[in-house]
A = this chain, B = another copy of it.
Amino acid sequence: MTNGGRKKATIYDLSVLSGSSPSTVSAVLNGTWRKRRIRESTAELIRSLAETHQYTANRQARGLRSSRSGLVGLLLPVHDNRYFSSLAQTFEAHVRSKGQCPIVVSASRDPEEERRTAETLISYSIDELFICGATDPDGVHEVCEAAGLKHINIDLPGTKVPSVISDNFEGGRILTEAIIRHFPADRPLAPEDLYLFGGRDDHATRERIRGFRAAKKELLGGDPDECVWPTGYAADNARKAFDAFYEQRGKLPRGFFVNSSINLEGLLRFMAEHPLENFKDLVVGCYDYDPFASFLPFPVIMIRQDVEGMIARAFEVIEGPRASVQIHLVKPRLVPPRTALTGPLDALIDSDMPR
Contact = CB atoms under 8 A, between A and B. Distances in A.
Contact of A123 (B58, B86, B264, B346): B58
Contacts of A236: 342, 346
Interface centre among A7, A272, A293 (most CB of B within 10 A): A272
Contact of A81 (B63, B85, B294): B85
Interface residues of A, number: 90
Contact of A5 (B6, B8, B146, B290): B146
A235 interface: yes
A201 B353 CA distance: 9
Contacts of A204: none
Contact of A353 (B121, B147, B232, B292): B232
Contact of A271 (B54, B60, B271, B340): B340
A12 B77 CA distance: 35
A230 to B, nearest CB: 8
Given A295-B297, A353-B234, A101 B120 contact: yes
A353 B265 contact: no
A188 interface: no
B106 A92 contact: yes
Contacts of A54: 146
A64 B58 CA distance: 8
A176 interface: no
B82 A89 contact: no
Interface centre among A64, A268, A292 (most CB of B within 10 A): A292
Nearest to A234: B350
Contacts of A106: 88-89, 92
A261 B291 CA distance: 11
A8 to B, nearest CB: 6
A269 B88 CA distance: 23
Interface stretch (A107-115, A217-225, A244-252, A310-318): A107-115
Nearest to A77: B348
B78 A79 contact: no
Interface in A167-214: 200-202
Given A296-B296, A350-B233, A345 B262 contact: yes
A28 interface: no
Contacts of A56: 119, 122-123
25 contacts: A1-B146, A5-B145, A56-B122, A59-B123, A60-B61, A60-B63, A80-B82, A80-B89, A80-B344, A89-B106, A101-B121, A101-B124, A102-B105, A103-B103, A103-B104, A111-B351, A200-B350, A232-B352, A234-B345, A234-B346, A235-B346, A271-B340, A272-B340, A295-B296, A296-B296
Those 8 A-B pairs whose CB atoms lie nearest each other, nearest first: A292-B292, A232-B353, A232-B350, A297-B297, A268-B340, A200-B352, A292-B293, A79-B88
